[in-house]
Structure 1
């Protein structure tokens, strides 16, 4: 069991959080999906039924958002080799390298509407994408926070009410 003193602290702006997979506990600054509830987009294929409750709807939206984030990082890693492996630069230098890569990437996107890196990523099969998912069960030692579970529940209920009002 990891004590509170041993937990890593990740700072987010108030009201923001990191979307994470089931390998992470739903704790301060980390918003994970509901465990044991339909999650992956392939489970929500064209013939799948619509979400039946707030937890399923939350997981559907969580999965869609995570795929966008993972795709962005995939493009960055394909384009910039320095982002593909661990680095031993000081943290300040690492931050500058990452920011530089994103700035250059944004410039490339503004000048080249048809990006060959994106086309290459589009050609990756669904099986290859599922291999990228990490099963970090060892992180489950950090227990979920009741406060963050309540935050997720409130968000899920808001999404569900909006969904029900618009269907």
Structure 2
């Protein structure tokens, strides 16, 4: 008899005796339901919505009544429908909880007691439904001057100002072979998102998806190529990262600009350029605040998330839609600025705040700079004349 046969037979016997029962246990374990907690996702959501309002803010980033209004809006026209095991309320909760905590699929599956496949499916459904509301909630500003522009220090100089524009970097996670175009000047990965806002702290345009290496001016030019318009005779306020043109008024270079700089100087404007920059910064401060509120309310925008690149871009747009929805429903705007973010700050990605200077990289803007400089000088000198006159009257 072949001795190897004996060794083989003995091994097979040992396999049958010791290994097969273990495999059977594993097979039984794989069939056993994993998410069996009595605290189901539906119960958890119900507890939060019927509990202290701060719970809804903490987990879903908005007040309870606004959450319910959002659910109702998404229910309209069957944008979302109740699933067999997952109601629209829970679908929306899954999505908002992910934006609040940058929660992984496993974390969401455990928290809501559903399979990872179910979580992924409903996250995508809600993301699509909210981005489809873009044209409903993100719309151009009214052409009527905003009441803030009637204040003495702004009138009549900024009466044709629609709002402000800025580029904001939102962190992005990419495969290694796709990273370089998205590497910004801080050498981290981001997308450069152009946003425009009005003086009521609402977004009026969002242009997302450009690489972090792209200049603010290039993203603006692409937005103009894809339907973003400036009505005749009107203009937006922009920072030094853009060319100064009749449609996009930038501050004077080499002159104090940011409100912190003005405050540190502890002196009145000394010339028309300093006065223009001060008034410009006071109005443009709205967009800096709205971006800060957006990223505090939805912390996922400050970290490298776990989703595909397409979904990461859509999340930035959906967050802006939600911001406007909350604003239109009188949500608390001071709360995000004063709350603690429940994400380890070591996960936050250090991204640029915008371009410090215009890169002269957009020919269409370069041709308009002389006309823009003339318009800015005219406004600034008229403003200075009024300022000097009123100061002399008050002396």
Match of 2:251 in 1: 33
CA RMSD of aligned residues (A): 3.5
1:69 and 2:287 aligned: yes
Is the 1:80–1:101 contact (alpha carbons within 8 Å) kept by the matching residues of 2?
A: no
- TM-score, with length taken from structure 2: 0.32
- Alignment counterpart, residue 117 of structure 1, candidates 295, 312, 336: 336
1:53 and 2:271 aligned: yes
Which structure features the higher share of strand residues? 2
Distance 2:335 2:319 in 1: 22
Distance 1:46 1:61 in 2: 16
Distance 1:151 1:73 in 2: 28
Number of aligned residues: 148
Alignment of 1:7-46 (within 5 A): 7-8=221-222, 9=224, 10-45=228-263
Deviation at 1:155, TM superposition (A): 1.3
Structure 1: which 5+ runs fail to align?
Answer: 1-6, 122-130
Match of 2:180 in 1: none
CA deviations 1:40-88 (Å, max 9, x no partner) are: 2222126522111111100111122222221022212322467669974
Structure 2: which 5+ runs fail to align?
Answer: 1-220, 341-350
- TM-score, with length taken from structure 1: 0.67
Distance 2:352 2:328 in 1: 24
Higher relative contact order (CA 8 A, sep 6+): 1
